[in-house]
Amino acid sequence: MDATRILDALILGVVEGATEFIPVSSTGHILLLGHFLGFESTGKTFEVLIQLGAILAILSVYAARLLKIAAALPTDPNARRFVLGVLVAFLPAAVIGALAHGFIKGVLFETPLVVCLALILGGLVLLWIDKLELEIRYDDATRFPLGTYFVIGLFQCLAMIPGVSRSGSTIAGALLLGASKRAAAEFSFFLAMPTMAGAFAYDLYKNRDTLSADDLAITAIGFAAAFVMAVIVVRTVLDYVSRHGFAFFAWWRLVVGSLGLLGLLLVG
């Protein structure tokens, strides 16, 4: 395990943590950056497994609230309905992700052009949604109707195309369905927990026989960097989007996608 590979893993981990919970596509950033760094992982598994750091980060930030919801389950129907809502929203991605795993990892993850185009298109969509005068019907992420949770889950499936953004697609869906900006962003956090944990577990299982000790060591470095950075982001992003919306992230996507396209044209 050479110093360059360690540095690459550290950089990629920081980028993962910085981008996982904002609507700019962490996977798109990781795949593009890995392409230009020349970083290769077994079966593109590093890019999925370092998400464990981001999962643990959001669990640590939301630990008290999650424990409160869990404690209320036996007596509070609202708590039970919210947990059911998260599971309903998670179900479409679980089914489609399992069925299309080979195509996603073997084709879409290997095509940087797809990432660049998805970043740009998603940025334009986010700019459009951010300018709409949408009626706010839900200001609490734990009180959406069950049908709304399910449709948000369908939106999340768009993020199986790298560059679309899991948080971006869920936030866009929630906004269009009447959620406030803060509630939309917060529900994307809640939905991230089962979605990312499921992707992590499934990918680890699928690649259990091909991972080496070097792969695991590099992944551990990326995981630690992602954890620290994700904690910082989760603690700040809700207040930011409540005040400023999503235009900054839309322009971020447009710049990164355009630079990616330029890099592909110049260096391949």
Q: Is the pTM of this model over 0.85?
A: yes
Q: Are 126 and 172 in contact (CB under 8 A)?
A: yes
The residue count for the chain: 268
Of 47-56, 109-118, 141-150, the poorest mean pLDDT is in: 47-56
- Residue 116, token pair as written in the block: 């660049």
pLDDT in tens, 55-82: 899 899 999 999 999 999 999 999 999 9
- Residue 214, token pair as written in the block: 């070097």
* Cβ atoms < 10 Å from Cβ of 92: 17
CA dist 75 and 80 (Å) reads 9
CA dist 94 and 87 (Å) reads 10
Which DSSP state fits 179? Answer: B
Task: Compute and round to an integer the Cα radius of gyration of the chain.
Answer: 18
